[in-house]
Amino acid sequence: MAVVDAGFSSQRWELYRLLSEPARLRLLALAAQEELGIGELAELLEESQPNVSRHAAALRSAGLLRDRREGTRTLVRIAPEAPLDPVVADALSSGRALCEKDGSLSRIGDVVRNREAASREFFARPPKVRVDVVPSEMGAYLAALAPLLARGGLALDAGTGDGRLLEALAPLYERVVAIDRSDAQIARARERARARGFANVTFVQGELDGPELMQAVGLEGARAGKRGAGADAVFASRVLHHAPQPARVVAQLAGLCAPGGALVVLDYARHADESMRDQADAWLGFDPAELRRFARAAGMVDARVAGLPAPLCGDGPDAHLPWQVMVAKKPEGANSKSHETNRIGQGKGK
């Protein structure tokens, strides 16, 4: 039988003692469901953060939990090998039952959604943008586009915001679909397209898995399996760090690509500037390995990540951050409409 920590092989009673505390059982079960911050666990468990930190430290010392720093936050998740131990597996079952009884398991979704509350409020603020000025970060957009010009049919601008990326996409692609869930942002992007005379842009206000977007990129119903369904290139420019579940978003974006199409993610490399939380940033950038892992889990291949020179990144409030671009391809034989997000890790680092 697998044992989590070799030290327990001679002193198994310590493992039983560690797992005799209901709060630890519940914490372990919640961490098995989702990578969560200490503050989020405290909210779900209705315990103080110091108590939660103490319990998490004990479980981590036993090898049952893993944690990682994300700026000033500590995120914890169950160790992958922990459920292989029969005692831990039984403890997880008991902890899950306790969480189902007290409702904390069902509240995880609310806690995750709260991560984007600041993002929704931030993007609903009145516009402070001039649409008559070419974005100063245009060099970064063009650098991301460079390897993709061979396929110029349909491009998708996911999270178009005020439409800055349209300055690069509309002249290069026959057709562009721009989506954002904020009607305020869509209004800004429409105004930019009108001012530039971009007649080849279709705007969608909604979610990435919504029926309006599926129809716009040819993935609705019977058309989903036909040649040409999906976008030749899907772009997500500085979107991922706002997402409460980045891996899930990458899976959704990959599902919108046509077979042989490309996914381009322009975002920040990992940094430590906590002030970006005020810009509705849920995550302080990503390691290149994380982006490649997200792409692989979403069924993409040949994922490449490259840093961008600082002079290409404009003069906005995020110009001081390290920028990077990931380009990944969808296999030719893949199904375009493959939103299999249930099997994708729900936390950032899974």
Give tens-digit pLDDT for 152-176: 899 999 999 999 999 999 888 989 9
- Our measurement of the distance from residue 245's CA atom to the centroid of its chain's CA atoms, rounded to an integer in Å, reads 4
Region 120-128: mean pLDDT is 77
**Cβ atoms < 10 Å from Cβ of 268:** 21
In this prediction, residue 98 has a pLDDT band, given cuts at 50, 70 and 90, of: very high
Question: For the chain, what are the domain ranges?
Answer: 11-103, 122-340
Exposure class string for 246-267: b at 16+ Cβ within 10 A, else e: bbbbbbbbbbbbbbebbbbbbb
Identify the top-confidence range among 111-115, 119-123, 190-194. 190-194
In this prediction, residue 347 has a pLDDT band, given cuts at 50, 70 and 90, of: very low
The reported pLDDT for the residue numbered 342 is: 36
- Our measurement of the distance from residue 138's CA atom to the centroid of its chain's CA atoms, rounded to an integer in Å, reads 24
State the fold for domain 11-103.
Arc Repressor Mutant, subunit A (1.10.10)
Q: pTM for this one? A: 0.76
Please tell us whether the domain made up of 122-340 is placed in CATH 3.40.50.150.
yes
**With contact defined as beta carbons under 8 Å apart, do 326 and 264 qualify?**
yes
In this prediction, residue 110 has a pLDDT band, given cuts at 50, 70 and 90, of: very high
Rounded Cα distance, 280 and 147, in Å: 30
Average pLDDT of the chain, as a whole number: 88
**Residues above pLDDT 70, as percent of the chain:** 87
DSSP bridge partners of 157: 178, 235
Strands, E, within the chain: which ranges?
36-37, 65-70, 73-78, 154-158, 175-180, 201-205, 231-237, 257-268, 301-307, 323-329
The reported pLDDT for the residue numbered 4 is: 53
Helices then strands, each counted (H, E), the chain: 13, 10
Q: Is the pLDDT of residue 85 over 80?
A: yes
Q: Is the pLDDT of residue 321 over 80?
A: yes
Rounded Cα distance, 146 and 311, in Å: 17
Domains 11-103 and 122-340 share a fold: no
The reported pLDDT for the residue numbered 117 is: 83
The reported pLDDT for the residue numbered 294 is: 98
From 18-22, 209-213, 334-338, 342-346, the region with the lowest mean pLDDT: 342-346
Rounded Cα distance, 251 and 258, in Å: 13
In this prediction, residue 228 has a pLDDT band, given cuts at 50, 70 and 90, of: low
